Chain A
Amino acid sequence: MSGTALALALAALLALGTVPLLDDGFWLALAINIAQYAVLATAWALFSGPTRYISLATAAFFGIGAYTVAVLGEALPWPLVLLAAGGIGVLVSLLVGLATLRLSGVYFVVFTFGLAELIRQLVTWFEVNVARSIGRYVFVDITQPQIYWQLLGLFGLLLVIGTWLSRSRLGFALRVIGEDEVVARHAGIDTARVKIALFALSALFLSLTGAVMAPRWTYIDPAIAFNMTTSFQVLIMALLGGAQSLLGPLLGVIPLVLLFEVLGANFPNHFSILLGAAFMLVVYAVPRGIVGLLARARRRAAA
């Protein structure tokens, strides 16, 4: 994104910050939902877009953030809780990255595929055997508008970092890796280190989003926090929009949040089937995302 575009986007975010002043019911809830998935999908695409490594671990990091709030929410002041949530997320991502990102992509996919389920089992085991309770109440003094503003802040920060990244050596290295990893290695790029660094950055934002969203629930148990569907929804949104550009995922987030809202309200028992069908439709019909369609339309208009 160019400097002007970034400034415009940030100004738009500031303007969107007024939503809670206008309505604090349905529209605010919808805005929170969109903002949440905007941050998640953009953070996912930050790593998976340029490198083309598909991470299925979104729910794991989101859950880490949310559960950290459930455990530490009352004990520490809010900024420290956020710091802890982000810190644990980054730590886990470094472990996963060190174990798998030095090897070929398929190990990474397999490892991230079961990660949310693994952490859910470990947390459940800990709660049952050590804490002797399953599930926790979230008691923190965070209002709905505050959740919304924090999400907008995270999104703004992501845009700034993403813009910086696209101009930096690190971002260039990432794009080379995405094009051809062998070439990247021959060009002297430490591919493993670049991939691990970006995966950790992406995990930081995913965990923070989980932490910010946690006060929306009053009660959290491991099954709520570490829900595979989150990974799935974020993936499909980023793919529909287009994972290769910074604002691409946002184009997928808005229509799909609205669609899922409608589907969830009208077909609660068949939600999963429709979700899967929508996903496959995206994979088959829009493999390059809305961004790809727009680029093709522009090329055709020019020709």
Chain B
Amino acid sequence: MEAVGGVLFSGIVLGGMYALVAMGLTLQYGVARIMNLAYGEFVVAAGFAALWLFTAAQVSPLLGLLLVMPAAFLLNLMIYRVLLLPLVRRARSPGALETDSILATFGLLFVVQGVLLAAFGGAYQNYSYLSVPIGLFGATVTANRLVALLFAAAIGTALWLWLARTRAGTAVRAVAVNPEAAQLVAIDVRRVAALAFAVGGAMVAAGGVLVSMFLTFNAAMGVVFTMKALVVVIMGGVGNLMGCLVAGLLLGLVETAVASWVDPGLTLAATYALFLFVLILRPAGLFGRPAR
């Protein structure tokens, strides 16, 4: 039986990561209207990038963020321009775009997973960075978890400030609320969508790098990350950053509690249980208003 303090801390760290990753997804789905099923693969890819930087070039993951995040931004911008824009152009209705983007990113999932498998193999990987124990509120935690949590909080806050305080961020929020009305106030919806998609990609890369500091991962784990991010987004209400934070923390806590006190093999079951709970009681999310 693990102590409550340790579980609480681990849960908050894991939940913070889920929240960060889900914020990226909520930008991609809520603003760019792309249901990205390859999302989790990019979490894992960023993790592998951090691993490679650390073991091959001795670059610390925190410095690595400065490299991986812009790279992910550009990569996702290209993915949107090259792969997804044709689908946006050909879609006759939002429903058609949703279907097409689900299919296209499902294909992308296998491509990215295949590339990771070919490059790094299928084995579980981890690396040891800052794994020194420190005492915190009476519990012993590793420094890398604490650092990851602080960085996630900083990046999440930066995203929030960008959305709330800048002109570009306001345009992004306007498109999230109503793409047709946004056009009326001279917002180039497709450019904003591309921007939101790329920023979302940078967020997911940040999440992947931070997660890789303390979690063991392998090339096949992307699906689980996608699933959890989707559940957090739906639970928090699509396009709602605060909802992501609360739902992410909730999922992290529930999952850590289940993993430490019940069985580590049942974490996805815990995710699904939460998902079912939301679907049955509050289909529009914890903070959302019902759509119909």
A residues apposed to B, CB below 8 Å: 52, 54, 56, 99-100, 103-107, 109-111, 113-114, 117-118, 121-122, 124-125, 128-129, 228-229, 232, 235-236, 239, 269-277, 279-280, 283-284, 287
Tell whether B184 is near chain A: CB-to-CB under 8 Å: no
Evaluate contact between A118 and B268: CB separation under 8 angstroms. Answer: yes
Report which residue of B111, B117, B263 has the largest number of chain A beta carbons within 10 angstroms of its beta carbon. Answer: B111
Q: How distant is the Cα of A118 from the Cα of B273 in the complex, in angstroms?
A: 11
Evaluate contact between A124 and B102: CB separation under 8 angstroms. Answer: no
Q: How distant is the Cα of A121 from the Cα of B231 in the complex, in angstroms?
A: 17
Q: How distant is the Cα of A105 from the Cα of B283 in the complex, in angstroms?
A: 12
Dominant secondary structure at the A interface:
helix
Evaluate contact between A279 and B95: CB separation under 8 angstroms. Answer: no
> 13 new A-B pairs (CB below 8 Å) besides A111-B279, A280-B107?
A52-B95, A54-B102, A103-B283, A110-B275, A111-B275, A113-B223, A114-B271, A125-B266, A232-B110, A269-B118, A272-B117, A273-B110, A279-B107
Evaluate contact between A114 and B268: CB separation under 8 angstroms. Answer: yes
Closest 8 CB pairs of A and B: A272-B114, A276-B110, A273-B114, A276-B111, A279-B107, A114-B227, A280-B107, A125-B265
Evaluate contact between B107 and A283: CB separation under 8 angstroms. Answer: yes
Chain B min CB distance to A235 (Å): 7
B272: chain A residues within 8 A (beta carbon): 114, 118
Evaluate contact between A283 and B265: CB separation under 8 angstroms. Answer: no
B269: chain A residues within 8 A (beta carbon): 118, 121-122, 125
A274: chain B residues within 8 A (beta carbon): 114
B114: chain A residues within 8 A (beta carbon): 270-276
Evaluate contact between A110 and B231: CB separation under 8 angstroms. Answer: yes
Tell whether B134 is near chain A: CB-to-CB under 8 Å: no
Q: How distant is the Cα of A287 from the Cα of B266 in the complex, in angstroms?
A: 38
Evaluate contact between A273 and B118: CB separation under 8 angstroms. Answer: yes
Evaluate contact between B108 and A99: CB separation under 8 angstroms. Answer: no
Known: A110-B231, A273-B110, A279-B110. A105 touches B95 (CB 8 A): yes
Chain A min CB distance to B240 (Å): 16
Evaluate contact between A121 and B265: CB separation under 8 angstroms. Answer: yes
Q: How distant is the Cα of A114 from the Cα of B268 in the complex, in angstroms?
A: 9
Chain A min CB distance to B21 (Å): 15
Evaluate contact between B234 and A114: CB separation under 8 angstroms. Answer: no
Evaluate contact between B266 and A284: CB separation under 8 angstroms. Answer: no
Q: How distant is the Cα of A104 from the Cα of B223 in the complex, in angstroms?
A: 22
B118: chain A residues within 8 A (beta carbon): 269-270, 273
Evaluate contact between B102 and A276: CB separation under 8 angstroms. Answer: no
- Give how many B residues have a beta carbon under 8 Å from the other chain's beta carbons: 45
Chain A min CB distance to B96 (Å): 9
Evaluate contact between B234 and A107: CB separation under 8 angstroms. Answer: yes
Tell whether B106 is near chain A: CB-to-CB under 8 Å: yes
Chain B's closest residue to A280 (CB) is B107
Chain B min CB distance to A186 (Å): 13
Evaluate contact between A110 and B230: CB separation under 8 angstroms. Answer: yes
Evaluate contact between A276 and B35: CB separation under 8 angstroms. Answer: no
Chain A's closest residue to B276 (CB) is A99
Chain B min CB distance to A102 (Å): 9
Evaluate contact between B227 and A104: CB separation under 8 angstroms. Answer: no
Known: A106-B35, A124-B265, A129-B263. A239 touches B103 (CB 8 A): yes
Q: How distant is the Cα of A107 from the Cα of B291 in the complex, in angstroms?
A: 14
Chain A min CB distance to B144 (Å): 26
Evaluate contact between B265 and A280: CB separation under 8 angstroms. Answer: no
Q: Could you mark each residue 265-290 of chain B with 1 if its beta carbon is under 8 Å from any beta carbon of chain A, else 0?
A: 11111011001100110010000000
Evaluate contact between A284 and B115: CB separation under 8 angstroms. Answer: no
Chain A min CB distance to B182 (Å): 21
- The contact sample of 11 A-B pairs, CB cut-off 8 A, is A106-B98, A111-B279, A113-B227, A121-B269, A229-B110, A270-B114, A272-B111, A276-B107, A276-B110, A280-B107, A280-B108
Q: How distant is the Cα of A283 from the Cα of B227 in the complex, in angstroms?
A: 22
A232: chain B residues within 8 A (beta carbon): 106, 110
Contacts of B75-121 to chain A: CB distance below 8 A: 83, 86, 90, 95, 98-100, 102-104, 106-115, 117-118
